[in-house]
Structure 1
Amino acid sequence: MSVNSLVIDPETLLISADEAREFGKAAAPEYRSRSPYPYGCFDNFMPPEILDRVREELRSLPAAESFFNRPQEKLKAAYMPERLGPYTRALFHSLNSKAFLAFLEELTGIEGLIPDPYFAGGGIHVVSNGGHLDIHADFNHHGKLNLERRMNVLIYLNKDWKEEYGGSFEVWNDDMTAKVAGFVPIFNRMCCFNTGSSTWHGNPEPVNHPTGEPRMSIALYYYTATWDSTRESHTTLFKPRPGTKDTKDRLEARHRFLHNVLPPFIWRRLDGRLRKLGI
């Protein structure tokens, strides 16, 4: 059996577990061999009518749960699945299912992947014209569940998108001296990658659609129960690209300083308050 896309029923959104495993197994050698960390790009990832229905529901959006407009994260909004349309919600839950995890585990070789029922940081991401997300490594610890973050899945929703419209997903090397790969966020393209404290990636080139359409994507994150007391958690770590106008993240630097100098019980209380205030 040869499978080169996700076998998922457009009506029920049920995924064929056996075929998902075969899909992951076939793509695993190339995915795992990539450097500086494993990553993959899959075009025509699922039946296109599924994402067409999602796009239709996204014509009407509620207020965003989060909105970022600072130098490192500009004009980026996130929408939680539970407040979106029923078909979109169902797709998110399907992509958190055992069958989809079977695909990811075969692809990555990571056993015991755990989906996030809270969709922390995930959901529908919308970057408006002029917006971007600088190169970064993601937060590494799901505090509510005490899990280690291991993998990201991004599925793009943008029809007829061209490279000159900006917003391409980029992979950078360990020492931030060179871009390794770039992927235009075209409709029904899925990019995924293992995550760690030096898996540098982002979409740093500003969105510049000629008619003002935003860059839209589905974002899901997966974890393992491998966190322990020897590890140090961090939030998103940004890195400026050499030779660009990218700026250092002074907010995170301030947090790291306070984390290092304050007693742990005081830091835990202060950290949540600072982040809510954005300082």
Structure 2
Amino acid sequence: MLQLMTDINKCDMHIHTCFSDGEDSPEEAIMWARNCGMECVAITDHDDVRGLKRAEAQAEKLGMIFHSGIELSTDFKGIKLHILGYDIDTKDEALKKACAVAAARRVNRNKKLVEVLNKTYGLTWEEVKAETTSEYVGRPHMAKALVKKGLADDVRDAFKKIFSKPEIASVKKENMSAEEAINIIKGAGGTPVLAHPGKIRKIGEKGSEEFFENVEKIILELSQMGLEGLECIHKDHSEQEADSFMKMAQKLNLLITRGSDHH
């Protein structure tokens, strides 16, 4: 079972590095967290664990508590959910295979997506690759390239204005099921936690009674599959949302975590 510090405000359990869609090296990401006053951290790159050893070494130098982590993109009844896994065995064969499959699926999605963006906006693969410092390429890098071309004000605007268009939104990456992700994480000795429930789409207007009711139903089903925690405090959660999610977690006896989702 994942052990967290008593003071949740000194924990950041959701940080990305250049091994997925973050800009910082593992060492820089840990230093950033330390400068923010964190004493307990986890690196949770998308479908990738290659930055964990370097991050752990940096955390050890700084006297910080470190948890190995990962973030898996999943599908739950047509709804996209992100499942975080903590204290995982990075050598676990099923986990390594899942990462390889996810990476292959991302490459296939990227190829199709850039083809569509090229036809509509003249975006090239070279322009996208220029926005990343590693092998990982994702939609955020495409968004940055679109911003650089003057087609959007910022990354958030690019996702809202461009990636929401039907012909672009229809190009999706095939994801594992939420249950499969939970089983993979637990099989690797880890603790599965649902990331940023406030960002779940297709379940009602954000912040509405319908939305919270549907979130709770999803969390209940996931907990029956083996989910052990809920990321209640997140930069995209309002105080009201964080409070509601903490009550849900307490009701279902789930761990409560905090994450900046730093990129």
TM over 0.5: no
Structure showing the higher strand proportion among its residues: 1
- TM range, smaller chain: under 0.3
TM-score by length of structure 1 reads 0.24
Structure showing the higher helix proportion among its residues: 2
TM-score by length of structure 2 reads 0.25
